[in-house]
Amino acid sequence: MTALFNFQSLLLVILLTICTSTYVHAIAPTFMNNHKQGFIGIFWKAARVGERLSPYISLCCVFMAVSMLIGS
């Protein structure tokens, strides 16, 4: 089953995309700043969300980790 059909997996993929994009943007900011349009622009936007909402993203990651522990 893909992550599109399972809501919890979809949220996990979105959170991992935001966290990974934010990390890559911190390491190589010129790469993402030069590619704001197109497919890579999605990752630039995810990096912006991760930078601006980092406390909320962190809380969501902790919540997802706890829910994964409880669910398994």
User: Domains in the chain: how many in total?
Assistant: 1
Q: What is the pTM of this model?
A: 0.79
Contacts of 11 (CB under 8 A, 6+ apart): 60, 64
pLDDT confidence of residue 34:
77
| Residues 15-30 pLDDT 10s | 999 999 999 988 988 8
Residue 70, in any domain of the structure: yes
Residue 35, in any domain of the structure: no
CB atoms within 10 A of CB 50: 22
Residue 71's domain comprises 13-19+51-72
Residue 56, in any domain of the structure: yes
Residue 5, in any domain of the structure: no
